[in-house]
A and B are shown apart, each in its own frame.
Chain A
Amino acid sequence: MRARRLYLLGGIGLILTGMFFGDIFAVFTLHQNAAQVGANLAAAANAALSGNRHAVLANFQNVGAFLENRGTKVDTHVHMIDFGYLALLLAILQPWVAFREDSKKRIAWIFLLGAWLLPVGVYLIHYIGLAHSPLKAIGWASIAADFGGLLVLLATLACLLGLWMQFRGGRASSADNLLTDRSTEGRMLFAGGIALVLLGFFHGAYYAAADLYKHEAQDYSLLAQMSAAAAAGARVVVNDALTGYGQLQGAKAVNIAAHAHSVEFGLLAIMLAFFQPYVSLRATWKRRWAGVLLLGSLLLPVCVLLEVKYGLVAGGIADFAGLLIIFALLAMWIGILRYTGELDASARFMSESGVPQ
């Protein structure tokens, strides 16, 4: 298997696993975890209200554990998908990397090893903690994750070096049919992807200008209100502040998620536009799957944003949109596998029949 195919299949595999993991996490862990964080924060505030210092610290320890659990799972999801994107990018760039094919394959394996090691390591941080660690603040899972990151970094650096050598030497690369393709599904994905990225940018800029600093100030003022009211014994104020704090965290989370998902799905659509010649499916099905991917990519961030107002209904539609993207991506991945299978079969046929390759 050539380096490009390694990156391509490995990259889509990483994205699919990351998305599937994200969907499972959103349905079975995210909301339950947020409820636990809220409950423990409320218990800490009530403990402060009754002057019980030990209960305060115990409840905050629980909050920390739940937040670490949530944070490491979000990081696993994000890094897996982002490394998948990077793998797709490196797949496209392979013809311009001025190394021998076996060196490029070795670099691809190093990249993929690191790209799996980092998210798996991050996932395990919550479960392994600091057990048997030689360091004070960093456990073995973190060390493995950091090593994975280093491998990805080195592989990417090697690709950059290869590109640099290509450009410096002024060597011409062979014609690449991936970049000259102008099929309808390719254009749909390219144009739709840019529109999604722009939508995400506009939303991010609006959020930064209108809400970000307001939310940061509210975060502090609600916590200050909570602790001051607890010290003064004002239970009603503590409860009001707790409710406000929960709503604020929800508002922040949906805005950030909508922004990030819109931009990331836009990038994914643009990258998949380049690989459409590799998708060995009928043209009508290629267009359908491109449409499904774009529909899911638009629906998911919009419904995530609507979760604050419409609650679980919007959340359910967002999860369904995530599934649409996963199905479309899976269909394209199968199409690419069929294409690579055809290539392998024709290569085997040529070698068996003595035709030089």
Chain B
Amino acid sequence: MSGSRRLLIVGGIALAVWGMSYGLWYAAFAEHQALDTIGTSLAGSFAAAADRNPALMETSLQEYREAKYIYDRQVDVHGHWIGLAMLLIVLGIGFDRVNFSERLKLFLALGLLVGSVVFPLGVLLQTISHGPLPRAIAIAGSGFVIVALLGSALGVASGGFPRAAAR
């Protein structure tokens, strides 16, 4: 098996295991609490509105905003790590259909793997910092994945598409 295929398959399965472990931890220890906070704070803000208490209303809404922001990203990270891991494995299995030199294929595989790890990591870091750096990391990671996948698609297309009669 070539180095590029090995990198994609082993890297993909490792990333899938990592993504599932993260999801398991999240479901067991964080998700219920997060949903609770989202529900309680939103209900609290409307209850404060009923009580004509603008200060509590504002605090509760801010709490809702922050909890929802973190929850959305944590769920996204779990889904994207596993989704991208499956893409890596699938591409790894069919990587011999990419008609480029092994060196270029290794480069594409590395781009895909790095992007697949870094893109959700950037999203996860957004829950710690709202600054531009985590967002830049996520954009860079997704850029790596898209460019490497485009390169792989070009490699597949350069092999030509057979007519039914040519089989």
Contact = CB atoms under 8 A, between A and B. Distances in A.
Contacts of A236: none
B65 A205 contact: no
B104 interface: no
A145 to B, nearest CB: 7
B133 interface: no
Nearest to A194: B153
A197 B87 contact: yes
Nearest to A172: B1
Interface stretch (A12-20, A47-55, A318-326): A47-55
A146 B24 contact: yes
Given A48-B50, A228-B49, A60 B39 contact: yes
B136 interface: no
Interface in A73-122: 78, 82, 85-86, 89, 92-93, 96
A314 to B, nearest CB: 25
Interface string A252-273: 0000000010011001001101
Contacts of B54: 228, 231
Interface string A124-144: 000000000000011000100
B87 A267 contact: yes
Contacts of B28: 138, 146
A190 B97 contact: yes
A287 B164 contact: yes
Contacts of A63: 39
Contacts of B142: 201, 204-205, 208
B46 A167 contact: no
A265 to B, nearest CB: 12
B109 interface: no
Contacts of B124: none
B149 A198 contact: yes
Contacts of A137: 32-33, 36
Nearest to A152: B20
B14 A160 contact: yes
A303 interface: no
Interface of A is mostly: helix
Nearest to A217: B65
B145 interface: yes
Contact of B57 (A60, A179, A227): A227
Nearest to B146: A201
Interface stretch (A31-39, A218-226, A293-301, A328-336): A218-226
B114 interface: no
B145 A201 contact: yes
B149 A197 contact: yes
B90 A89 contact: yes
A45 interface: yes
Contacts of B94: 179, 190, 270, 273-274
Contact of A56 (B43, B61, B65): B43
Interface in B68-101: 68-69, 72, 79, 82-83, 86-87, 89-91, 93-94, 96-97
Given A93-B89, A179-B96, A223-B64, A51 B52 contact: yes
Contact of B1 (A56, A167, A182): A167
Contact of B167 (A86, A184, A228): A184
B50 A47 contact: yes
A201 B84 CA distance: 11
A34 to B, nearest CB: 17
14 contacts: A52-B50, A53-B51, A93-B93, A149-B23, A160-B10, A160-B13, A163-B10, A190-B97, A194-B149, A194-B153, A194-B156, A198-B150, A223-B45, A267-B87
Given A156-B20, A201-B146, 19 more contacts: A48-B50, A51-B52, A53-B51, A60-B43, A78-B79, A92-B93, A93-B93, A138-B28, A146-B28, A163-B9, A167-B1, A191-B156, A197-B149, A201-B149, A205-B146, A224-B58, A231-B52, A231-B57, A287-B164
Interface of B: 1, 6, 9-10, 13-14, 16-17, 20-21, 23-24, 27-28, 32-33, 35-36, 39, 42-43, 45-54, 57-58, 61, 64-65, 68-69, 72, 79, 82-83, 86-87, 89-91, 93-94, 96-97, 142, 145-146, 149-150, 152-153, 156-157, 161-164, 167
Q: Which 7 A-B pairs have the closest CB atoms?
A: A60-B43, A48-B49, A227-B49, A231-B49, A53-B50, A137-B32, A48-B50
